[in-house]
Copies of this chain bind each other. A is one copy, B any other.
Amino acid sequence: MKAIIVRPPATGVQISDVNVSNSGKIKIRTLESGICGTDREIVNGQMSTASTQEGKDYLILGHEAIGLVEQGGYGFKEGDLVMPVNRRGCGKCLNCILGRPDYCETGEFVEAGISGLDGFMREYWYDEPVYLVKVPKSIRDIAILAQPLADIEKSMEEILKVQSRLNWSCSDGTLNCRNALVVGTGPIGILFSLILKTYGLETWITNIRDPLPSEEEIFANVGINYYNSSSGYDKLREQLKFDLIINATGASAETNSSLLTLLKRNGVLGLFGFPISGSFSVDKSATVDMIMGNKVIVGLVNGQKPHFQLAMIHLASWKTLWPNATSKLITKSIKLEDEKEVIQALRKKVEGEIKIKLIWE
């Protein structure tokens, strides 16, 4: 079958005819794939942890996919739309046994399309029911976003648990009095800001430039505040500090030093995007501040099946609540037969891109 393959750690990507045999009780025909930054890091040889499935010399790319059930069973029937959960647990540690390989303790999980398991950029695949999430047909147009959104849902779940150490709700029982800042306006940054609004937090988003017109429309539709941080965070800090900051950039880790200074007492700095360089430093007084203020820095990674399901609910609500914003989240669809364009999209992000889909059928 046709598949998009890579050969990590080598750079490069190609569309090939491959002969794959994978097993699984459900057969799924691929309808569309999403492209994300991780795919491009693999293609460009920047992801050191990328690896092929055991015994193979190439890796089928793709961890965001929507497919059509061709042979069902186990609660899935022909014609159902499904999305695969990409990380699959080690089967040994308790967290994996509980269906939560996002908290895998051994590190021996695999991630389809990334490390140790072929991905979903291929015509069809077989899978186990436990790894498949039903996609409501009414959100098919944006459902591909449920994969990155699942990571964010898990992050919110984690943050709310971390904050359960204190009374974090406001005097009306909501989170409306809490201020959140999302750093970065990539797909993760934008999706995170929408989720924060969904949870009721007053939300800011920032980038080191003015917002693009399409971003402006999204933020206006949803009610998200924008801050241009090209000259730093001083002006913002004078105005307000934050209960929650999400670093969703892949920029230098250095940013985190500044972000700590924006954090309120009991505040949480969530690290989401892998920095491409740099390091952040916590000096004596920032350390004292963290202690005196019960502050937290927490790494946020990977959503699992419950988070995919919650992501579907939230995407469905957004279609109703913020149709204008929602319609801007898929910035491009490329047919697989436009091979040149496909390869180009896998190599480089274009300005203004939020989510690109490859159309298989």
Contact = CB atoms under 8 A, between A and B. Distances in A.
B298 A296 contact: yes
B301 A297 contact: no
Interface in A241-279: 253, 256, 264-266, 271-279
Interface string A295-317: 11111110011100100011011
A295 B272 CA distance: 12
A172 B266 contact: no
A272 B173 CA distance: 22
B138 A321 contact: yes
A284 B172 CA distance: 33
B266 A103 contact: yes
Given A99-B170, A161-B164, A320-B320, A287 B291 contact: no
Nearest to A253: B287
A313 B100 contact: no
A292 B301 contact: yes
Interface stretch (A90-98, A203-211, A338-346): A90-98
Interface residues of A, number: 80
Nearest to A291: B299
Interface in A145-175: 157-158, 161-162, 164-167, 169-175
B138 A320 contact: yes
B296 A300 contact: no
Given A173-B98, A200-B306, A299-B291, A138 B323 contact: yes
A102 B291 CA distance: 11
Contact of A299 (B271, B276, B290): B290
A331 interface: no
A282 B284 contact: no
Contact of A95 (B103, B166, B281): B166
A99 B172 contact: yes
A334 B297 CA distance: 42
Nearest to A173: B99
A316 B305 contact: no
Contact of A297 (B105, B264, B297): B297
- Most interface-central of A138, A169, A170, A253 (chain B CB within 10 A): A253
A116 B89 CA distance: 35
A175 B95 CA distance: 15
A103 B274 CA distance: 31
Given A174-B309, A253-B287, A271-B290, 7 more contacts: A99-B174, A164-B164, A172-B304, A281-B282, A291-B300, A294-B300, A296-B296
21 contacts: A94-B170, A98-B167, A100-B173, A103-B167, A105-B264, A105-B265, A139-B320, A158-B165, A174-B306, A175-B306, A256-B287, A274-B291, A275-B284, A276-B284, A279-B281, A293-B301, A294-B301, A313-B314, A313-B321, A317-B320, A319-B320
Closest 4 pairs between A and B when the two form their complex, measured CB to CB: A99-B173, A279-B283, A290-B299, A161-B165
Interface of A: 94-95, 97-100, 102-105, 107, 130, 136, 138-139, 157-158, 161-162, 164-167, 169-175, 198, 200, 253, 256, 264-266, 271-284, 286-301, 304-306, 309, 313-314, 316-321, 323
